[in-house]
Structure 1
Amino acid sequence: MSARKAPPWDPEAVPTFWINHASRLLMRHFEQRLRPLEFGMAYLPVVIALEEQGPLLQKQLAEYAHVEQPTMAALLTRMERDGLIERQPHPDDKRASQISLSAKARKRVPEAKVQLEEVAEQAMAGFSERERATFLSLLHRVVANLDPDAG
């Protein structure tokens, strides 16, 4: 009796391969478009939070971005180096700083959004409105399957 040979594994036959590949391509295109504006994809959760909510504490930004405090501290250090955020002493807690967008960042945010939208449109070229809605719904389900606490 001979042992049956397992069929070869074909990663391209599973949707997760294509989700990962698409994600990597999107990130590459986003980064290429944002680089001239001195933005990076990692900066976006901070930029969005500060744009929408005004000055925040590092702890609040870490919670908003779903990252640990040391990760946020390093990110904010890079953003400050790049002139995208400013720190002011907190009026009630002398150990804390309030973080806000710099004038440079506020000026560049609209163009960054345009660039992100153009890449998103490029990625969805040829999709009908119905296909776009279906695709979005399916991606939401994938995320919910992997992270029941999401959304």
Structure 2
Amino acid sequence: MDLEVLSTPGHLISLAARGFTRLSEARLKPLGFGVGHLPVLVALRDGQASTQRDLARFARVEQPPMAQMLARMERDGLIQRSPDPSDGRSSQITLTAVAEARLPEAIAVLLKGNQDALRGFSDEETTQLVSLLTRLIANLDQVASATSEPR
């Protein structure tokens, strides 16, 4: 029966992801952030990435959408770019004081959203869900990389 496809893990995870995105976007908007900004902001804050290429890799998005997001973030005063002294074609990206000041509240908002969404889940269930999703993501990455390899 075709309705079975609506009960598959892939479909249910997609629905959950869209629900988390809607909730997060609504709660982050007053802070001037979008949900897609958070991986970039955290990576910049923690020194895990400082170029567009590295940020795209960190956030697991393609270069063109990352370039568009960084342009909007720069326009909105969240990041600043400066020439990369080691590579004239690249820019070093850093957080602005505005973004640094708002980031702790944004993280708190996201954590509260997760807490609200997981209401009624025990700590053990939440830990198990995170573990299962982490394994699922690793499997998907492995399948995707095997699929993209030349044959």
Question: For the superposition of Structure 1 and Structure 2, which TM-score range results when normalised by the shorter chain?
Answer: 0.7 to 0.9
Query: Runs of 5+ in structure 2 lacking a partner?
Result: 145-151
Change (3 A) 1:149 1:49: farther
Decide which moves more: 18-27 or 57-66.
57-66
- Tell whether the 8 Å contact from 2:45 to 2:95 is kept in structure 1 after alignment: yes
Q: What do the CA deviations read for 1:70-104 (whole angstroms, capped 9, x no partner)?
A: 22211110100111001112234333321100111
Q: Where do residues 1-151 of structure 1 align in structure 2 (5 Å cutoff)?
A: 7-53=1-47, 56-148=50-142
Paired with 2:143 and 2:97, the residues of 1 have a C-alpha distance of: 36
- Measured after TM superposition, the shift of residue 45 of structure 1 is 1.8
- Measured after TM superposition, the shift of residue 105 of structure 1 is 0.3
Decide which moves more: 8-17 or 134-143.
8-17
Q: Which has the larger radius of gyration?
A: 1
Decide which moves more: 113-122 or 126-135.
126-135
- Tell whether the 8 Å contact from 1:85 to 1:100 is kept in structure 2 after alignment: yes
Query: Runs of 5+ in structure 1 lacking a partner?
Result: 1-6
Structure in which a larger fraction of residues adopt helix: 2
Work out the number of aligned pairs and report it: 144
- Measured after TM superposition, the shift of residue 55 of structure 1 is 7.1
Runs in 1 of length 4+ with deviation above 4 angstroms? none
Q: CA RMSD in A?
A: 2.1
TM-score computed with the length of structure 1 as normaliser: 0.83
TM-score computed with the length of structure 2 as normaliser: 0.83
Q: What do the CA deviations read for 1:36-64 (whole angstroms, capped 9, x no partner)?
A: 11101111221111000077122222222
